[in-house]
Amino acid sequence: MRVHNEIFIGTIIGSGGSSSVYVANWKNTSTIYAIKKSVNNKEVCLTIGANSHENIIQFRGVTKLKGEKKYSLILEYADGGTLGKYLKNNTIEWKNQLRFAKEIASAICWLHDKKEIIHGDLHPNNILIHKDAVKLADFGRSCLKGTGCYNTQVWGVMPYVDPKMLNQKIPYKLNEKSDIYSLGVIFWKLTSRSSPFDGLEGDHITFKILNGVREEPVPNTNVKFIGLYQKCWEQEPDERPNISEVNETLSMIDSENDTVTTVPCSKGSKESKKAEFEHSCQIDLNKLCQ
């Protein structure tokens, strides 16, 4: 265990890109946090901006550890690990599959419609479980709507990547419909508990996706849920629903099955919310960089 001022940093619990995540706690307390080391200012800004939704990992603070040039994020610790690991180790019944789908969609609704943020890297290892609830995490690849989000290289976990990003011959601007594609594949995984195109190599997976091949529905899955995720993973972005339409469909599935309800995502003025976020983000970054 390493000590940085008042922070005790323990074992690594995740890694990806240029950052690693460690379990940590404050000196003389039992409160556990997660610390994501070596993040850039953009990620700090977007993490702050995405805060305050119950299905998003909460921002607790930012620090610069001794001997490191970049900032580290102090985040809520998720006790259940990643969604990918959870699905591998647990059999979940339909009502919880639907509940998880609704919680993920609610978080994305918050990002798209309230915060004007595109996540850009949705997959089961960037979705965490805490106290049996879903928590969306990792804004390292995220961007604000309308900003420079053109892909210069393919990133992410291959089966969850928008096909338009896989086609490197045509520059593609990351957008909300990229998140919707990823969401469709995640919904399929909730019902299958399997990895998409399991056993195939990356190039083979890319070839299949670019040619419109998708996984087959799991038998006995709700037909409306199947129809929803199949619309989400359409090849052409314009044929995919937006997140409000996804939530509307999920609500109808809920009423048919008399299961759980979703967290509402109320809409404010997009322009005012975006301006408010950009302003607050600028203030936060100015404070960090003093």
User: Residue ranges for the binding site?
Assistant: 37
Cα 160 from Cα 137, distance rounded (Å):
16
Q: Which residues contact 179 (CB under 8 A, 6 or more apart)?
A: 108, 111, 112, 118, 119, 120, 122, 243
- The two structure tokens encoding residue 273: 């919310």
The binding site for ATP consists of 37
**Residue 67 Ramachandran class (φ > 0 left, ψ -120 to 50 alpha, else beta):** left
Q: Interhelix angle for 94-109 vs 243-257, to 10°? A: 150
